[in-house]
Amino acid sequence: MKHKLVSLSSLCFLLISFTILADAQIKKPHHGESGFQNPNPGFQKKGFWNVLVWQWDRFFLPYSLDAKSYPEFPVVPNDGKELQSNANKLSVTWVGHATTLVQIDGVNVLTDPIWSERCSPLSFAGPKRYTPPGISIANLPKIDVIILSHNHYDHTDLTSLKQLEEKFHPLVLTGLGNRKLLLGEGIRNVKEMDWWDEVKIGSLQLTFTPTQHFSGRGLFDRDETLWGSFVITGKDETVYFAGDTGYYSHFKEIASRFPKIDVAILPIGATEPRWLMEPVHVDPKEAVRSFLDLKAKFLVPMHYMTFVLSDEPLDSPVPRTKEAMKESGISESALIPLKIGETRFF
């Protein structure tokens, strides 16, 4: 009996040791000790002090950052009727900032929705909307899925998400660690995803893919939740939504797994000053380089012309992107700079 007990103890010890060893082996490189991290070993983390230095420097810029100094940008009225009647065509509608409506295989997917006047924890302060949303929530077709790239205020806007929940009750896909926040705000159908996780909805496969960025909604929760991008794969077409990202090799890795991307929705704004923004926001040249890495057919730019978040003039990203495409030998027809509210059918 004693020998059996010793053998049983030994077996339990081996099982525990094997479990610990297995956990250590399957731990993913982007899972840190107290949160998440970028795979790029050269990633330069910028903190609150860097932001203070930047704000001080802004006083000495040679041009005004007052939104009144910018030109008026065209907004295309969109009553949603074409979108509501579209049963199967691939379409992309730019609502503003990183908010786009992607229609694919009869499924309506909304990216990083923000209809609020400010992207801020405060309703009376913080970056204010410069251009109105291109379509009202009331005129949207039924939203089946919302994808959230990360939890920054300009990408996870709780006010808008609650309005969309009340009207559509969509499935919300987001990175690890974000579910608790959303459930606490009454968002009921939330699924967290790690990089390369997949969710199937009808004929669609939605894959959460890597980006180089960071997360946080306050001073003390840096990188506690996971950021990322999405690949939306339909029966015949594939759409990539980048969210926010700096430039790194993840674009080539995504292309190796998804070799037939039709539309890449890429950020081109919030890029200056480069010493601060480069690790986490591609500029127009890097957006074009990312487009080439992805081997996509069309580039739909976003993340500009909506909020004043950085130092470059609001009207500069598209001309700079066109110039970068010209320098790279890419036909300008591959660039689809939608007006806010505009829909492109493919």
DSSP per residue over 85-141, as a string?
Answer: H-SS--EEEEEETTEEEEEETTEEEEES---SSB-SSSSSSSPBBSS--SS-GGGSP
Give the three-class secondary structure for 163. helix
Q: Which of 277, 208, 283 is nearest to 30 (CA)?
A: 208
Exposure of 248 by Cβ count < 10 A (0-12 exposed, 13-18 middle, 19+ buried)? Answer: buried
3-state secondary structure of 317: helix
| C-alpha–C-alpha distance, residues 111 and 95, integer Å | 10
Closest CA to 288 of 277, 299, 297: 299
Note the Cα 165 to chain centre separation in Å. Answer: 19
Per-residue pLDDT of the chain (346 residues; tens, 9 = 90+): 444 444 545 544 444 444 433 444 467 999 988 899 999 999 988 776 676 776 666 656 555 555 556 678 889 999 999 999 999 999 999 999 999 999 999 999 999 999 999 999 988 888 999 999 999 999 999 999 999 999 999 999 999 999 999 999 999 999 999 999 999 999 999 999 999 999 999 999 999 999 999 999 999 999 999 999 999 999 999 999 999 999 999 999 999 999 999 999 999 999 999 999 999 999 999 999 999 999 999 999 999 999 999 999 889 999 999 999 999 999 999 999 999 999 999 9
pTM of structure: 0.90
Of 199, 167, 161, nearest in space to 183 by CA? 161
Distance CA 69, CA 65 (A): 7
Distance, CA of 165 to CA of 279 (rounded, Å) = 33
Annotate 174-205 with b (16+ C-beta within 10 A) or e (fewer): bbbbbbebbeeeebeebebbebebebeeeebe
